[in-house]
Amino acid sequence: MKNGMTYIQLLNETLHCYASKGSLEAYTYIMEHAKGIVGNEAQIYNFKYALASAAGLEEEALHLMKEAIIEKGFWYGYEYLISDDDLKPLHKFEGFHQMVQLCKEREELAKKTERADVKYIESKKKEKLFIAMHGDQENIGIIEPYWKSVLVQNYTLALPQSSKIQFSDGFVWDDLHRGKEELKEHYDKLIENRTVEHE
């Protein structure tokens, strides 16, 4: 955290800046405040290059995309990359299309191997269960620090992660039937293997 700012606060403040002051101000904001933030680095890069592109900083946007996709190994959804209005100015560059193709390949591989996950953190007494689900385009690592306080209240903390991946380390619960089945499976396994109160 930089100056006490969390990952969620960084994204929300950047979006607020974008809505009230425009893409250039939002780009400047995230570039100034992102250093040292713990969260989904792929998402932070996405904000950076999309805002740079929307602000007309095409070379900077391509540089940030290259850093994210080529150097860091992140990927982003193919449909998003080709349809997002903020990225349309980049369509004229061959390098953009090469990175889009690389992302498409990584996305296909990730979707073949996607699986639900869960992390359990037990309190000393293991009496009660608290399930905290991640938000849109988040993961276990992002939400864990926000919920650890329940451990002092004798809860076992369960942090399920959807199997549905949208981009590097960004998971969503938008398939309700699938999400319900995954949560039920996690819950049933926990009850089978641990002693917690359940009603």
Contact 64, 52 (CB under 8 A): yes
Note the pLDDT of residue 67. Answer: 98
Give dist(CA 112, CA 122) in Å, integer: 32
pLDDT, tens only, 51-77: 999 999 999 999 999 999 999 999 999
> In the chain, what are the domain boundaries?
7-112, 117-193
Kindly indicate the confidence band of residue 153, based on its pLDDT and cuts at 50, 70 and 90: confident
Predicted structure pTM score:
0.79
Note the pLDDT of residue 197. Answer: 52
Best CA proximity match to 40, nearest among 4, 61, 10, 66: 10
Kindly indicate the confidence band of residue 199, based on its pLDDT and cuts at 50, 70 and 90: very low
Note the pLDDT of residue 168. Answer: 87
